[in-house]
Amino acid sequence: MNKAQLVEAIADKVGGRQQAADAVDAVLDAIVRAVVGGDRVSVTGFGSFEKVDRPARYARNPQTGERVRVKKTSVPRFRAGQGFKDLVSGSKKLPRGGEVAVKKAPKGSLSGGASATVKKAAAKKTTAKKTTARKTTAAAKKTTAAAKKTTAKKTTAKKAPSKTAAQKTTAKKTTAAAKKTAAKNAPAKKATAKKAPAKKSTARKTTAKKTAARQA
């Protein structure tokens, strides 16, 4: 069945051939535009249409057998629904001409139209991306601030020991100089103390000589 035959098959149900042709064109156009935009078109009981990305790969030319590199590309894919599969496999009987083979959509599910659903989904994706970007920026700022604080603390901690070492060195030099000064002054005091008894002995000898002269 081609497109013209499909139009003829549904012409009686939609009120004429022109209406049927317009309906088929509108449905196909909506499916193609949605899939190209990256959306998934799903029809309950029939199947779903979606866009699939294929990475770059190597293939072989069937005529020459030469290995050829195939660029990255995107292809449309159709997956049949379970109801469609069951009808084709024969596990379920196909309804007669007056009945619809594909399940009808539940009441209320078509309110708002497909375009409104696509717009809502796109708006949700955009909002989610913006929220993620804001969270990432805030986390990056917090990490940078924490890193700066940590670096400042480490720098202060490293500088403090150098001052302490300098103070210790100065204290050691002062103590050593004081010890040297005390050591120099100590022998002088001892020598003065030792010389004092010598003067007393000389005075005693002089007194003894005077007393002996008088007795003579």
pLDDT digits (tens, 9 = 90+) for 135-145: 656 666 776 66
Least reliable range by pLDDT among 11-20, 83-92, 119-128, 206-215: 119-128
pLDDT at residue 191 tops 70: no
Domain boundaries, the chain: 185-216
Closest CA to 73 of 52, 94, 103, 93: 52
Strand order in the sheet with 73-80: 41-43, 47-54, 73-80
pLDDT at residue 188 tops 60: no
Least reliable range by pLDDT among 25-29, 35-39, 79-83, 187-191: 187-191
Q: Is 63 left (phi over 0), alpha (psi -120 to 50) or beta?
A: alpha
Residue length, the chain? Answer: 216
Residues 126 and 120: their CA atoms lie apart, in Å, by: 10
Confidence at residue 151, expressed as pLDDT on a 0 to 100 scale: 62
Confidence at residue 94, expressed as pLDDT on a 0 to 100 scale: 85
- Per-residue pLDDT, averaged over 178-183, amounts to 65
pLDDT band at 101 (very low <50, low <70, confident <90, very high): confident
Q: Is 206 left (phi over 0), alpha (psi -120 to 50) or beta?
A: alpha
CB 72 within 8 A of CB 93: no
